[in-house]
Amino acid sequence: MKCWQCETEARGVCRFCGRAVCKPHAQTMNYIVSVYPSQSKKVLKSLVVADAVFCGNCKPQPEPLETPYLD
Chain positions contacting Zn ion, by CB under 5 A: 3, 5-6, 14, 16-17, 19, 22, 25, 55, 58
Nearest-approach distance from CB 36 to Zn ion, in angstroms: 25
Three-class SS of residue 68?
A: helix
Closer of 27 and 46 to Zn ion (Cβ): 27
Residue type, 67: T
| Cβ contact 21:2 at 8 Å | no
Closer of 52 and 55 to Zn ion (Cβ): 55
Nearest-approach distance from CB 6 to Zn ion, in angstroms: 3
> Alpha-carbon distance 48 to 23, whole Å?
22
